Chains A and B, each alone.
Chain A
């Protein structure tokens, strides 16, 4: 079988349905929901928070602390074992590093900026959805940012490059690579690039082009969501 048509009938450079909402958690300083297809991420920012142990405190800038978590019922089949795992710790770290280049935390000296990301429903591309939600939540929390971060997962299936892979495509058996890309349009910087699978140099170039295209579309949705919060009802 040759992969010339996507499982859900999308074009190769078409995103799933994207949706974002700001201020979903009233008690948080800033919060956001981000949905891409069946993947739903909720991010809440609590800042400033006291930071302990004390040696972590920095008197020049605040410390960003991300926490990525998939809730027990989020998967499509088996129950996800709750609590921190090797995977979620790694993803928390890469999300932190993906967001840090645009943040200016000097107002939060000696304090922590807590970002909690919960995945309530997952269908591939969770770290990217998490980054998009976290970026919106940070903007809603009034944290100084030089740009918004958008992220999308691009895949290689056989010799085709596809934008925004879903679970079915991720599990494709005959040759699959998926690449998570986080991108800032204004700075023209890639802040996250993780690849799982084999790619040639030319394919990687095409993947990055495709990811930038997808990120720009997601960015439009993010900007609209932020402005919608203050629309007159």
Chain B
């Protein structure tokens, strides 16, 4: 342990806990400086790299950020575009001109319904966030589209990186063993579609297992063992 650090690396800390003492350390994300002490502001894991002390929260919801890919549902249709509900208090606007690079002839709501109907699940890219309230999304980039029949699973947004894994190792394993198509939105909604119900349910079970045990090390090995057992 480095002199002045009051906690272990990867230790679970609670809000208000003192992490380090002295001016040698810098507060990273979710860490507060008070006098010459560093204080945790959230429930999570500490990460100490050289002089930087940061905290990775284990709890908490999703906050929209420019550049995030999120999964949502079409909540309403207006003349200028669609409103997408992705689990945030304010719905995002998917404007007609952000749908496609090619020209779309639209003469009323019937034409718009043909593109995206009410309750359609879509994967969209957040292109602008103004003060939490006004959020613009787009489907212009490759891979962004209407999602076909499948099921939506809600997980905690802080667990999304665990479900994806390092360079997609975890999600590729799920795809490989269950033959499901899986898409994970940054907002914690997972869309999956498989050849039969059993494989879909197995994928849901695994995703929930990852969500529950994500903070315990050796997760990939355990999930692999779980799949081997089910085979």
Contacts and interface: CB of A to CB of B under 8 A. Distances in A.
A104 B41 contact: yes
B97 interface: no
Contact of A148 (B14, B57, B59, B60): B14
B88 interface: yes
A195 B183 CA distance: 56
A146 B15 contact: yes
**What range describes how many residues of A lie at the interface?**
35 or more
A183 to B, nearest CB: 12
Interface string B1-40: 0000000000010111110000000000010101000010
Given A50-B90, A144-B30, A145-B42, 20 more contacts: A29-B60, A29-B61, A51-B89, A59-B131, A102-B15, A109-B132, A110-B90, A111-B89, A111-B132, A139-B14, A140-B59, A142-B43, A142-B60, A143-B42, A144-B41, A146-B16, A146-B32, A147-B16, A148-B16, A186-B39
A226 B14 contact: yes
Interface in A23-62: 29-30, 47-51, 59
A227 interface: yes
Given A48-B88, A50-B90, A230-B58, A144 B42 contact: yes
Given A142-B59, A230-B215, A109 B88 contact: no
A141 interface: yes
A222 B32 CA distance: 21
A78 to B, nearest CB: 39
B61 A227 contact: no
B133 interface: yes
**What range describes how many residues of B lie at the interface?**
20 to 34
- The 6 A-B residue pairs with the shortest CB-CB distance, nearest first, are A142-B60, A147-B16, A145-B15, A50-B89, A142-B59, A144-B41
Interface in B136-184: 158
Interface of B: 12, 14-18, 30, 32, 34, 39, 41-43, 57-61, 63, 88-90, 131-133, 158, 215-216
Given A146-B41, A230-B58, A110 B133 contact: yes
Contact of A139 (B15, B30, B89): B15
Contacts of A141: 59-61
Given A147-B15, A186-B16, A230-B215, A140 B43 contact: yes
Contacts of A109: 131-133
Contacts of A232: 216
B89 A48 contact: yes
Contacts of B57: 142
Contacts of B132: 48, 59, 108-111
A4 interface: no
A223 interface: yes
A90 interface: no
B52 to A, nearest CB: 19
Contacts of B158: 142
Q: Among B16, B32, B63, which residue has the most Cβ atoms of chain A within 10 A?
A: B16
